[in-house]
Amino acid sequence: MADASLYDSKPWLAAYGTAIAPLLPPPQYKNVAHRVHSACERYAKQTAFTAVVPNGMNGSLSYSQLGDLSDAFALYLREVCGLKAGDRVAVQLPNGLAYPVVAFGIFKAGCVLVNTNPLYTPSEMIHQFNDSGARVLVIVDMFADKLADVIPKVKVERVVLAGVSEMFPAIPNMIVRGVQKVWSQVLPAIPQLPQTIERLSAALAAGRAAGAREKVKAYWDGIASTNIVALQYTGGTTGVSKGAMLTHANLLVNVDQVLAMGRSHMGENEVVLTALPLYHIFAFTANLLCFLDIGGRNILIPSPRPVQNLQRAIENYPITWITGVNTLFNGLMNEEWFTAFPPKHLKAAIAGGTALHHAVAARWQTITGTRIAEGFGLTECSPCVSFNPLSGVAKVDSIGIPAPGTEVRLVDDAGAPVALGEPGELIVRGPQTMKGYWQRPEETAAILKDGWLYTGDVAVMDEQGYFKIVDRKKDLVLVSGFNVYPNEIEDALAKMDAILEAAVVGVPDAKSGEAVRAYVVKNPDFAGSLSKDEVLAHCRTLLTDYKIPKSIVFRDELPKSPVGKILRKDLKAEVKAEFNKK
């Protein structure tokens, strides 16, 4: 056990150097809408967003157009739909030009954004829309067939449909729609429902006709920074998903924190590849909001799978930043076109969402000549908590140092601080932590205690204040009383050229209580065979006996989340079903 002063002294401050200011700037904006409005005015003539579909067809919006269109959508929500400040609007869109227009329009209307995965099933949609009380839904038209099952069971009053190629020039839009038909992705018929269903173009026209743009400033001018701006749903791994209440202040501060960590490396013409979905909190803050604030250009990828879908964007645009997860970086490096011609303007990549494997980071450095800066965050923290500094020391396998204004401690099961170098649960206190879970006071109380947010992640801290995630507390495998962290085993497996990706979970074992099981996907570019004995032999060179997998299961693919995070929970559910039968 350690005294809290170990963490209160903030040993990481020395690592800030001269590039990172230890204190955040004073608030410049009343709310997120104010920040959006300011960016659209400051960078009016610059390109804000470019959406690129797999065949290379694209469309773009300038900051000026973005300001005009988002104002029109705000007018539509307030004047046509009759929404009030604080009303919820669900958005179920892939990356495309419609997304920022709609999201920023919601902010300007003083309403609350409810980000929703476009691939959700009707039952998942019903839960989220009813839980949030969404009154308006904006959904991609490719999935309009879900509406007949969903809308009669929720309180949504109006539905707005947007296409993948929404706001593209006429000819590219026509080509994209034609390709959809060729590939049997014929747009479904719009169901007959009592609720109003209309195209986004019609909604924007109605908004413009409903009132002057001058009205819009009045909508957001009085919105306090403490008001909720987004319900970001999370926690589906432990039951039904719950909405993290993120305030305007949470997002404003987190943008400042992220920029404080990286602004010294950002110039006037930054171009970020946005393959991660904007409805996910990582890309939402890091790509959508941060690069907007500096006048950057987002290259939006509606569907990053297969990874070849990124080829046209990487080849045709001067990408300076890429955000992603371990599987995305690994996938790119298994593409011949990427390894032969890596992006020549790239400054750095930013990793989050899941552990970055050391083997992946090292190979990326070799191929691109740039490094992947790993950070750590979670939905409940808007999301950034820590980041590897782009100036100074970046440590391998580390999530870096806490962002300015962030307090971090590692504690044991009793909540007492652990000693230097000892693993403990990472807890966070800072202005980016959520207000709580929407309409769930008991679950809020379980994670927010005395101002500290308990993340459920186990980490260690070194003498310089750099943190390393050991694993998720709930994913810990207990082998004969020894703690085994799946991340360590997965990182060892990733060092084997014949393995594309792997996931590790615990399984019941009569002798040791639990045993390690590894699910392995063979690298298709590896010419030789791959056997269980070869995998185990590799593991023995890197791991002590009790950490070596007792069983190896080969798979063609592993279950993943929309951002490409391997879902151990799905594998653990399979294990539970398997052993319940025995």
C-alpha separations of 345 from 318, 350, 411 in Å:
6, 15, 42
Q: What is the pLDDT of residue 357?
A: 84
Q: What is the pLDDT of residue 120?
A: 87
Instruction: Give residue-wise pLDDT tens across range 290-347.
Output: 999 999 999 999 999 899 999 999 999 999 999 998 889 999 999 999 999 999 999 9
Which neighbouring-strand residues pair with 67?
A: none
Extract the tokens encoding 162: 């947007």
pLDDT of 237 higher than 50: no
Q: What is the pLDDT of residue 184?
A: 41
Mean pLDDT, residues 94-117 taken together: 97
C-alpha separations of 107 from 44, 126, 219, 222, 225 in Å:
19, 23, 9, 12, 12
pLDDT of 183 higher than 60: no
At residue 235 the predicted structure's pLDDT band, cuts being 50, 70 and 90, is: low
Query: Is residue 345 a contact partner of residue 271, using CB atoms and an 8 Å limit?
Result: yes
Alpha helices in 76-115 (DSSP H): 98-108
At residue 438 the predicted structure's pLDDT band, cuts being 50, 70 and 90, is: very high
Extract the tokens encoding 376: 């750590």
Mean pLDDT, residues 278-285 taken together: 96
Which neighbouring-strand residues pair with 424?
A: 459
Cα Rg of the chain (Å, integer):
24
Query: Is residue 44 a contact partner of residue 62, using CB atoms and an 8 Å limit?
Result: yes
At residue 396 the predicted structure's pLDDT band, cuts being 50, 70 and 90, is: confident
The answer to which of 274-278, 338-342, 575-579 has the lowest mean pLDDT is 575-579
**Counting runs of H as helices and runs of E as strands, what totals does the chain give?**
20, 27
Domains located in the chain, CATH noted: 1-27+249-263+276-475 (3.40.50.12780), 58-224 (3.40.50.980), 476-580 (3.30.300.30)
At residue 436, what are phi and psi to the nearest 5 degrees? 150, -175
Q: What is the pLDDT of residue 403?
A: 97
SS3 of 22, please? coil
Instruction: Give residue-wise pLDDT tens across range 245-262.
Output: 999 999 999 999 999 998
The DSSP string of 117-147 is -TT--HHHHHHHHHHHT-SEEEEEGGGGGGH
Mean pLDDT, residues 95-120 taken together: 96
User: 265: which DSSP letter?
Assistant: G
Q: What is the pLDDT of residue 187?
A: 66
pLDDT of 284 higher than 60: yes
Q: Could you tell me the pTM of the whole model? A: 0.86
At residue 182 the predicted structure's pLDDT band, cuts being 50, 70 and 90, is: very low
Q: What is the pLDDT of residue 177?
A: 65
CA-wise closest residue to 323 among 284, 380, 357, 359: 284
Which neighbouring-strand residues pair with 51?
A: 59, 300
Looking at mean pLDDT, say which of 89-98, 326-335, 563-572 comes out highest.
89-98
